[in-house]
Structure 1
Amino acid sequence: MTRKSSDAPMSDLDRKTIALIDSIARQVRVDIESGRLPDIELPARSLDNVTYDEAKGYFELGEVRKVRTLTVTTARSFAQTLRMMAAARSMIENDDFATK
């Protein structure tokens, strides 16, 4: 893995994040190749599933999870989720960040 903008080694959190992205992508591929509809389990992004941590100064996602399954009606949002995972992986590898 390369670090384009710095020679600093990748953090443990970065390595764990990339491993999780790779694991999810691998499972989606296995499901598709096996003829099953792939799904991804993600934290629910709702106000009911966040808490504000005053010490850290930001909101944190809770334990509630949501399963996103590939169907005819969800193909676009499922593909967008996979694309965002790929973009996040690339940014981590290149020590980059998104501004929007």
Structure 2
Amino acid sequence: MATGLESGAELQLPGLRRAAAHLGGLLGPRADIGSGPGVMTCVLAEAFAGAATVAVDATPGLLDRVRARAGKLGPGDRVAVRHAYRRT
């Protein structure tokens, strides 16, 4: 299955590269792309009710908010958090 997924994704490389370049242009060279307090994480968990959702951020306090939000809104058991360490 992994080979098929990889091949399918490689067919999309031109579009993926355009999307990444567009994000780079919007965010600049020091982009910080993290889950923040989990608003979008919970929207994704709602939209994909059968899937697990993972929130990644470099700020532990924000990951606490992800947990709280997911618990309050219902998808708490399907939302995991991961701490990403900032490079200095």
**Greater RCO structure (CA 8 Å; 6+ sep):** 1
Structure number having the greater strand percentage:
1
Structure number having the greater helix percentage:
2
Asked if Structure 1 and Structure 2 have the same fold, meaning a TM-score greater than 0.5 normalized by the shorter chain, the answer is no
Question: When the two structures are superposed, what TM-score results if normalisation uses the length of structure 1?
Answer: 0.24
